[in-house]
């Protein structure tokens, strides 16, 4: 008989987050955890949550594409999309890295600002051609009559750029850098007595604190 998924329980025993983490750099720790997750499917997948003008939150998975020297996290998207419209009115975001297999997660609270065009151009140029074409073909978050209609849009764009060696970046497509103000590291532990270490920004310094699970 198939187990009821709502009754599933797992005791977390893979690792711990000791008090030495409180004096660590949150960015070095994040880089280490990203490295630890390298063998997992989509280790750079992160859930980005935004809030629209009506106060309604939405979440979606995007891919982390960079961390700059200031610790800001980069992702790229269609700026006319639902998330892009939400960010235009409210740049506050929450990011979640859900590394379930490692019994870990990281939550980042911060503010998103658009990346400069030269950064957008450089990353767009590095994408596979099919991904570049789909950025033109898809009017992200807008209704479409059918899958066939979507594929027809893709075929039209493919024909449009067939003779072009380089596919230009659409003006509505670009990146955001999320500047963190709080970073929480969560490590699952036995009996739900989990480890939570939270770093908050105090001017130019980061202060670590252990919190109760």
- What integer pLDDT is reported at residue 9 of this predicted model? 86
- As to burial, measured by CB atoms within 10 angstroms (0-12 exposed, 13-18 middle, 19+ buried), residue 95 is buried
Identify the active-site residue in 192, 201, 210, 211.
192
- What integer pLDDT is reported at residue 90 of this predicted model? 98
For 21-69, the DSSP string reads GGGS-HHHHHHHHHHHTTTSSSTTEEEEEEE-TTS-EEEEEEE--EE-T
Helix (H, G, I), strand (E, B) or coil at 1: coil
Cβ neighbors of 49 (< 8 A, separation 6 or more) are 57, 58, 59, 93, 94, 95, 96
CATH (domain of 199): 2.30.110.10
- What integer pLDDT is reported at residue 7 of this predicted model? 87
Say what angle helices 147-160 and 129-137 make with each other, to 10 degrees.
120
User: Considering the chain, what is the average pLDDT of its residues?
Assistant: 95
**Residue 151 forms part of a structural domain:** no
**Residue 175 forms part of a structural domain:** yes
- What integer pLDDT is reported at residue 10 of this predicted model? 87
**Residue 160 forms part of a structural domain:** no
Query: What is the share, in percent, of the chain residues with pLDDT greater than 90?
Result: 87
CA distance 11 to 169: 47
**Residue 91 forms part of a structural domain:** yes
Instruction: Give the total number of structural domains in the chain.
Output: 1
Q: What is the pLDDT of residues 95-116, one digit of tens each?
A: 999 999 999 999 999 999 999 9
**Residue 146 forms part of a structural domain:** no
CA distance 100 to 8: 14
For 141-190, the DSSP string reads TS--S-HHHHHHHHHHHHHHTTT-SSPPPPTTEEEEEEEEEEEEEEE--G
Q: What is the pLDDT of residues 39-66, one digit of tens each?
A: 999 999 999 999 999 999 999 999 999 9
**Residue 163 forms part of a structural domain:** no
Range of the domain at 47: 9-127+171-211
Q: What is the pLDDT of residues 155-198, one digit of tens each?
A: 999 999 999 999 999 999 999 999 999 999 999 999 999 999 99
- What integer pLDDT is reported at residue 28 of this predicted model? 94
Query: Is this prediction's pTM over 0.85?
Result: yes
**Residue 88 forms part of a structural domain:** yes
Is residue 56 part of the annotated active site? The answer reads no
Query: What is the share, in percent, of the chain residues with pLDDT greater than 70?
Result: 100
**Residue 51 forms part of a structural domain:** yes
């Amino acid at each position: 008989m198939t187990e009821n998924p709502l009754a599933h329980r797992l005791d977390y025993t893979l690792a711990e987050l000791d008090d030495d983490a409180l004096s660590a750099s949150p960015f070095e720790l994040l880089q280490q955890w990203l490295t630890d997750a390298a063998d997992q499917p989509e280790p750079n997948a992160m859930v980005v949550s935004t809030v629209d003008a009506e106060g309604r939150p939405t979440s979606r998975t995007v891919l982390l594409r960079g961390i700059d020297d200031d610790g800001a996290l980069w992702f790229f998207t269609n700026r006319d999309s639902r998330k892009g419209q939400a960010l235009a009115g409210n740049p506050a975001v929450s990011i979640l890295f859900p590394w379930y297999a490692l019994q870990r997660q990281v939550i980042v609270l911060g503010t998103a600002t658009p990346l400069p065009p030269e950064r957008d151009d450089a990353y767009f140029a590095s994408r596979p051609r099919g991904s570049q074409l789909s950025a033109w073909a898809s009017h992200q978050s807008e209704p479409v009559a059918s899958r066939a209609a979507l594929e027809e849009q893709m075929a039209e764009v493919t024909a449009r750029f067939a003779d072009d060696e380089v596919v230009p970046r659409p003006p509505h497509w670009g990146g955001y850098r999320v500047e963190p103000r709080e970073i929480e590291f969560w490590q699952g532990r036995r009996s739900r007595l989990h480890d939570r270490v939270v770093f908050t920004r105090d001017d130019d310094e980061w202060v670590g604190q252990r919190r109760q699970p």
